[in-house]
Amino acid sequence: MAYVRWSHYFLPTWKEEPAEADLPSHRLMLRAGLIRPLAAGIYTYLPCGWRALRRVEAVVREEMDAIGGAELHMPVVHPAELWARTGRLDDFGPSLVRFEDRAGREMLLGPTHEEVVTDLARREIQSWRQLPLMLYQIQTKFRDEPRSRGGLIRAREFTMKDGYSFHEDAPDLDRYYPEVYRAYERIFRRCGLSPVPVEADPGLMGGSGSHEFMLAHDQGEDTFVRCAGCGYAANREGAVAVKEPDPDEPLLPQEEVATPNCYTIEAVAAFLGIPTRKTAKAVFYRAGKELVFVVIRGDLEVNEAKLARVLGTTELSPATEEDIVAVGAVPGYASPIGISGDEVVVVVDDSIPSARNLVAGANKEGFHLRNVNFPRDFPAQLVTDVALARDGDPCPRCGGMLRVQHGIELGHIFKLGTKYSQSLGATFLDRDGQARPLVMGCYGIGIGRLLAAVIESHHDEEGIVWPTEVAPFQVLVTVLNPKDGDQIALATSVATHLAQAGLEVLLDDRERSPGEKFHDAKLVGIPVLAVIGPRSLRTGEVDLERRRDGVRNPTPASPDSIERAVQDLLRTG
């Protein structure tokens, strides 16, 4: 293996901060010459960025192979008809890029590959003897996200490792799923990351069990809750929090009270001098044709994901004023008491039944009702938990305190069950000769996002600090004056020797001032820097510097001692 000469490589660095980047990983990937934007959420990987990406891929491949995965490669372009059969053509909505081929066939750019892999399994898997099976790929996906941001953290075109396992029955999936879980933990640890595994909402993917691996990060695109006490962690969409009931008190008779200009819960509570949790808040949504009237304790917020799930819908949007008026409610003073219409569904959050003598709207401009109680005063079609867990709420497992955190979703694993195999007719014959649908799991990791997350977690003021395992090169050999024949001779012999020892070596032989080369070295973040300058020729020593902590060791300039010292630094750095 040969070393790479920077003067003949393509590693363009930027001295100045790009104006258009906010996240450290995004800024550094641009500055350190790893990526360049082509359009919103669409990036070119430059050679050094591509090398780093391949290092991450190598880790993922090793761990996937270790749990019996077989790598394959599926198409980017899918026939829309296949997606129509699972119903996801509509479910995915506008983030699915669709087009017609020249024959007028509807096609799309694959945002994920459940349909394609299940179709493959349908054709090829006939017998229980072929199971279990784990197939995976590392491949480009495209999702026309309404909002791409943060560089590779949330791109529209992105590289993903997606794996799919096939099983005879649910118990076999249950047995295998933890193996994938542990493989994921190993992958992230090798990349220098410690994401929190959280219980997740399977969402559009369907299925019964699901975990997301969330890297805690203030600017993360996702939100989850975690209990410091017992380790309970869940995606915010699925998180459950304990709602402490009010002390029991006798139910008082309803009475009307004037509350002029009180259009919000806060205003009503302040006006009447009561805490917000002694009010009932009315929130309206439209779900297709139906109007949904949610009643929830005034201090809580509606969790729209939970609501959509209990309603069994994917189309949930806030209702308009006209919608609200149409069912006999008064915006700002809406009440569950006295509304009407066949197409209204009243959903009562489970915070309401245990609450006593609440203040609710009177469906009359300027008035509220005191002492409203459920179910005494109004009916509901559904009573269930639709509240958003809050920071500081009690943990459902141990009663400790939940913390809300932002995070970057690095991976997501699902027990899909038979959702896709059933809709696509992917069956096999079991030991008794019975046709049964394949039981599936699916497992994703955003590779580009993972790379960005590595940088997000491993950088300092001056640049990237690559963990050795995913560094694009392990050693940077910098020749301070490449025009000096003795320096370049020493440097090339060191670089050659290190490369022959199996290390990936970048030789900075550019004719630049030393300061500039040192700064670029920090920026690009290769774990070990070997400096060869006039001093080396004088003293017979090469300076080895570890990027992580700046520790410098003068090392005798013989190739063997340098290799030993470099290996030492890599092991500890």
Partner RNA sequence: CGGAGAGUAGCGCAGGUUGGUCAGCGCGCAUGGUUCGGGACCAUGAGGUCGGCGGUUCAAAUCCGCCCUCUCCGACCA
Binding site for RNA (CB under 7 A): 13-23, 26, 37, 39-41, 95, 111-112, 141, 143, 145-150, 154, 160, 202-205, 219, 221-222, 304-305, 314, 409, 411-412, 414, 444-446, 480-481, 483, 511-516, 518-523, 531-536, 543, 545, 552
Q: How far is the CB of 158 from RNA (least distance, A)?
A: 7
Q: How far is the CB of 342 from RNA (least distance, A)?
A: 26
Task: State the pairing for strand pair 344-349/290-297.
Answer: parallel
Question: What is the torsion angle, in degrees rounded to the nearest 10, for the CA atoms of residue 452, residue 453, residue 458 and residue 462?
Answer: 40
Give the phi and the psi of residue 276 in degrees, each rounded to 5: -65, -25
Q: How far is the CB of 152 from RNA (least distance, A)?
A: 11
Q: Which C-beta is closer to RNA: that of 41 or that of 467? A: 41
User: Would you give the distance in Å from CA 455 to the centre of its chain?
Assistant: 16
Q: How far is the CB of 46 from RNA (least distance, A)?
A: 13
Which residues are 233's β-sheet partners? 226
Q: Which C-beta is closer to RNA: that of 24 or that of 472? A: 24
Task: State the pairing for strand pair 69-71/133-142.
Answer: parallel
Q: How far is the CB of 191 from RNA (least distance, A)?
A: 15
Q: How far is the CB of 279 from RNA (least distance, A)?
A: 22
- Tell me: cis bond preceding 178? Omega within 30 of 0 counts: no
Length of the chain: 573
Q: Which C-beta is closer to RNA: that of 96 or that of 372? A: 96
Q: Which C-beta is closer to RNA: that of 95 or that of 194? A: 95
Q: Which C-beta is closer to RNA: that of 145 or that of 246? A: 145
Q: Are 474 and 527 in contact (CB under 8 A)?
A: yes
Q: Is residue 110 within a helix (H) or strand (E), and if so which, with residue range?
A: none
Q: Which tokens go with 180?
A: 């994938």
Percent composition of the chain: helix, strand, coil (DSSP 3-state, to 5): 30, 30, 40
Q: Which C-beta is closer to RNA: that of 197 or that of 338? A: 197
Q: Is residue 467 within a helix (H) or strand (E), and if so which, with residue range?
A: none
Q: Which C-beta is closer to RNA: that of 16 or that of 248? A: 16
Q: Which C-beta is closer to RNA: that of 307 or that of 360? A: 307
Which residues are 435's β-sheet partners? 429
Could you give the 3-state DSSP secondary structure of residue 222?
strand
What does the alpha-carbon distance between residue 536 and residue 130 come to, in Å, rounded to a whole number?
A: 62
Q: Which tokens go with 65?
A: 């192979």
Q: How far is the CB of 482 from RNA (least distance, A)?
A: 9
First to last CA, the chain: 23
Q: Which C-beta is closer to RNA: that of 170 or that of 204? A: 204
Q: How far is the CB of 528 from RNA (least distance, A)?
A: 12
Q: Is residue 49 within a helix (H) or strand (E), and if so which, with residue range?
A: helix 47-66
What are the helix (H) ranges across 246-373?
265-272, 304-311, 321-326
Q: How far is the CB of 85 from RNA (least distance, A)?
A: 17
What does the alpha-carbon distance between residue 182 and residue 255 come to, in Å, rounded to a whole number?
A: 59
Q: How far is the CB of 116 from RNA (least distance, A)?
A: 14
Q: How far is the CB of 34 from RNA (least distance, A)?
A: 14
Describe the crossing of helices 170-190 and 47-66 by its angle, rounded to 10 degrees. 140
Q: Which C-beta is closer to RNA: that of 543 or that of 568? A: 543
In sequence order, what are the residues at sequence separation of 6 or more whose Cβ sits closer than 8 angstroms to the Cβ of residue 463?
Answer: 28, 31, 32, 522, 523, 524, 525
Per-residue DSSP letter, 468: G
Q: Which C-beta is closer to RNA: that of 442 or that of 470? A: 442
Q: How far is the CB of 15 from RNA (least distance, A)?
A: 4
Q: Are 351 and 295 in contact (CB under 8 A)?
A: no
Strand spans (E) along 154-243: 157-167, 196-199, 209-216, 222-227, 233-235
Q: Which C-beta is closer to RNA: that of 177 or that of 378? A: 177
Q: Which C-beta is closer to RNA: that of 503 or that of 532? A: 532
What does the alpha-carbon distance between residue 489 and residue 207 come to, in Å, rounded to a whole number?
A: 62
Could you give the 3-state DSSP secondary structure of residue 304?
helix
Q: How far is the CB of 14 from RNA (least distance, A)?
A: 5
